[in-house]
């Protein structure tokens, strides 16, 4: 038995060592696009990818910090770089502001082969023109063909193709994940999908990302994107995209199943239907919740959003600036309402957003079921516990509508505790507790201790809420007091309901008939 166990352990260790050995890390050491078939101390990005394609196991490509410690551009001169299916591939850039991969307007930049599982992190892709080994002139920077591709903190900008100016996601089972990324200023010259195009048999998941300034020149439209197939958009912004000859400036949709949650579509334009969104197909599988579609420019009868028969199934709590000819809305939707959005700007986080201004109906206007995926139907893919910038949701009683959660305003609560004869009550604790549970399942509680003059002050109390004020004292009993905080509360002067209860272990109004 000992020999068997020992042999098994040795065999397992050999297998483990073999698995470890099969994984490899390749380091790009230069900006030139060369191809001698070897990735050693002299290694281009193309050579690193080809080495990863050959090596078994899961592979990583990094960039030499001695070369790429400052802003650098890798210029692609030998045609598109193709990812092969041989384990997973991860490319770790040095930051979208530091590392740019430039297609030189001579080719597409990246293409996946069938079965590929690849992740690209922290870089910029620009000036790809979609020329490649297949579907040439499609997918300016990226063509995901029958693979699973994830973009994290990637900027896809200034690319051009006939369709899918920035990205084409195509082929049965293709999955594209876009996270914390920017798809900007890409152009589909004569067809659809300025920013990207998703085909009918493909899936795209877009989270915490911004599509801005993309253009579709074709008659189908879809300035920001042309979405077929399965689409999930969460915590994202589509702004200032255009389809001058078609429909859907923000995006044009013929998708089979689409769930849009807590996203903002504003400032987009089209020469035809739906400056923000155009839903072309007649199936009902277009579900939208907690979204803003307003301030877009399409045909005058329906500038923000349009749909064909049965084309929209609202899940409620959306703000539609001009409902026009669109249908399918719920009683909880706010129709023909100005969401009071600020301009697209850097409001924190990795991408630009549009911040609701003070008094916006978007603030506290959403459904909280997105926080724990308890919506009756069509939940987002993941719980929406932060906004596009990473700010915690909710800041108030309810999540805000749209991609941005506005920080709750705060005020201070101050006052004095004294006996009926005017003597200050010092060194006791004053507690403020929100009287209703927040959407996150907790109550807001904060406290302060009185000073030698009996004064207390509690800063940073969220406004628009009601609180119970209790006092913890062994000598005095204070019945709870209810206050609503909409601005600074001053002179909250309290006297005990019972005194001289020294030694009592019951605090905060447990005696003196507070709870009759």
Distances (CA, A) of 352 to 10, 123, 237, 346, 388: 54, 17, 8, 5, 9
> Partners of 265 in the beta sheet?
238, 293
Indicate whether 336 pLDDT > 50.
yes
Q: Given this model, what pLDDT does residue 381 score? A: 96
Indicate whether 13 pLDDT > 70.
no
Indicate whether 112 pLDDT > 50.
yes
- The widest CA-to-CA distance across the chain, in whole angstroms, is 93
Q: Given this model, what pLDDT does residue 4 score? A: 34
DSSP 49-114: HHHHHHSSS-EEEEE-HHHHSS-EEEEP-S--EEE--SS-EEEE-S-TTTEEEE-TTTS-SEEEPT
Query: Quick one: pLDDT band at residue 441, thresholds 50, 70, 90?
Result: very low
φ and ψ of 67, to 5 deg:
-100, -40
Residues 465-511 pLDDT 10s: 788 999 999 889 999 999 988 788 999 999 998 765 444 444 443 44
- Lowest-confidence segment of 1-5, 308-312, 460-464 by average pLDDT: 1-5
DSSP category for residue 46: H
Name the architecture of domain 410-494: Sandwich (2.60)
Q: Given this model, what pLDDT does residue 259 score? A: 98
Domain residues of the chain, as ranges? 23-371, 410-494
**CA pair distance 430, 470, nearest whole angstrom:** 6
Mean pLDDT of the chain: 90
Q: Given this model, what pLDDT does residue 311 score? A: 79
Q: What is the dihedral sign for C-alpha 310, 315, 316, 318?
A: negative
Query: Quick one: pLDDT band at residue 411, thresholds 50, 70, 90?
Result: confident
Indicate whether 121 pLDDT > 60.
yes
Q: Given this model, what pLDDT does residue 407 score? A: 82
Residues 61-91 pLDDT 10s: 999 999 999 999 999 999 999 999 889 999 9
**CA pair distance 398, 254, nearest whole angstrom:** 32
Indicate whether 370 pLDDT > 90.
yes
Give the list of residues 6+ apart from residue 481 with CB closer than 8 angstroms, or none.
468, 469, 492, 494
Query: Quick one: pLDDT band at residue 436, thresholds 50, 70, 90?
Result: low
Nearest to 249 by CA among 165, 314, 306: 306
Nearest to 224 by CA among 192, 176, 181, 179: 192
Q: What percent of the chain has pLDDT over 70?
A: 90
Q: Given this model, what pLDDT does residue 309 score? A: 81
What average pLDDT score do residues 425-430 get? 94
Nearest to 187 by CA among 211, 215, 212: 215
Residues 163-204 pLDDT 10s: 999 999 998 999 999 999 999 999 999 999 999 999 999 999
Q: Is-same-fold flag (23-371; 410-494)?
A: no
CA 60 to chain CA centroid, Å, is 26
Cβ proximity of 396 and 363 under 8 Å: yes
> Partners of 91 in the beta sheet?
61, 120
Nearest to 269 by CA among 229, 221, 311, 328: 221
Name the architecture of domain 23-371: 3 Solenoid (2.160)
Q: Given this model, what pLDDT does residue 19 score? A: 42
Q: Convert 60-97 to b/e letters by CB count within 10 Å (16 or more is b).
A: bbbbeeeebeeeeebebeebbbbbbbbbbbbbbbbebe
Q: What percent of the chain has pLDDT over 90?
A: 79
More confident residue, 320 or 299: 320
């Amino acid at each position: 038995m000992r020999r068997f166990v020992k042999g098994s352990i040795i065999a397992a260790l050999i297998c483990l060592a073999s698995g470890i050995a099969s994984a490899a890390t390749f380091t790009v050491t230069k900006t030139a696009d060369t191809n001698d078939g070897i990735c050693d101390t002299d290694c281009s990005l193309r050579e690193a990818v080809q080495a990863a394609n050959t090596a078994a196991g899961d592979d990583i490509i990094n960039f030499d910090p001695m070369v790429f410690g400052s802003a650098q551009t890798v210029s692609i001169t030998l045609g598109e770089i193709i990812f092969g299916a041989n384990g997973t591939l991860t490319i770790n850039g040095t930051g979208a502001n530091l590392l740019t991969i430039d297609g030189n307007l001579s080719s597409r930049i990246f293409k996946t082969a069938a079965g590929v599982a690849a992740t690209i992190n922290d870089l910029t892709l620009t000036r790809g023109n979609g020329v490649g080994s297949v579907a040439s002139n499609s997918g300016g920077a990226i063509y995901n063909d029958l693979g699973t591709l994830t973009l994290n903190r990637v900027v896809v900008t200034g690319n051009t193709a006939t369709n899918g100016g920035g990205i084409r996601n195509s082929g049965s089972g293709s999955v594209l994940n876009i996270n914390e990324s920017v798809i900007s200023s890409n152009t589909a010259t004569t067809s659809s999908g300025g920013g990207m195009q998703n085909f009918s048999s493909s899936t795209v998941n877009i989270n915490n990302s911004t599509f801005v300034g993309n253009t579709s020149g074709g008659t189908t439209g879809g300035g920001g994107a042309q979405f077929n197939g399965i689409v999930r958009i969460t915590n994202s912004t589509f702004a200032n995209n255009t389809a001058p000859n078609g429909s859907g400036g923000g995006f044009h949709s013929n998708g089979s199943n689409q769930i849009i949650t807590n996203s903002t579509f504003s400032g987009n334009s089209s020469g035809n239907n739906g400056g923000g969104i155009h839903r072309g197909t007649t199936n009902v599988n277009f579900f939208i919740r907690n979204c803003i579609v307003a301030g877009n420019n399409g045909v005058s009868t329906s500038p923000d959003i349009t749909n064909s028969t049965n084309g929209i199934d609202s899940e409620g709590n959306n703000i539609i600036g001009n409902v026009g000819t669109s249908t399918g809305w719920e009683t909880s939707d706010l129709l023909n309402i100005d969401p009071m959005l600020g301009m697209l700007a850097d409001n924190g986080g990795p991408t630009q957003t549009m911040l609701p201004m003070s008094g916006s109906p978007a603030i506290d206007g959403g459904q909280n079921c997105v926080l724990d995926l308890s919506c009756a139907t069509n939940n987002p893919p993941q719980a929406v516990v932060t906004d596009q910038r990473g700010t915690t949701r909710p800041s108030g009683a309810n999540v805000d509508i749209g991609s941005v959660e506005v920080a709750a305003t705060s005020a201070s609560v101050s006052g004095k505790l004294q006996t009926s004869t005017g003597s200050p009550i010092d060194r006791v604790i004053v507690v403020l507790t929100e009287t209703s549970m927040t959407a996150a399942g907790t109550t807001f509680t904060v406290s302060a201790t009185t000073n030698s003059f009996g004064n207390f002050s509690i800063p940073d109390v969220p406004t628009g809420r009601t609180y119970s004020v209790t006092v913890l004292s062994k000598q005095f009993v204070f019945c709870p007091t209810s206050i609503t905080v909409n601005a600074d509360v001053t002179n909250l002067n309290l006297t005990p309901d019972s005194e001289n209860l020294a030694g009592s272990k019951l605090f905060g109004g447990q005696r003196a008939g507070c709870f009759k």
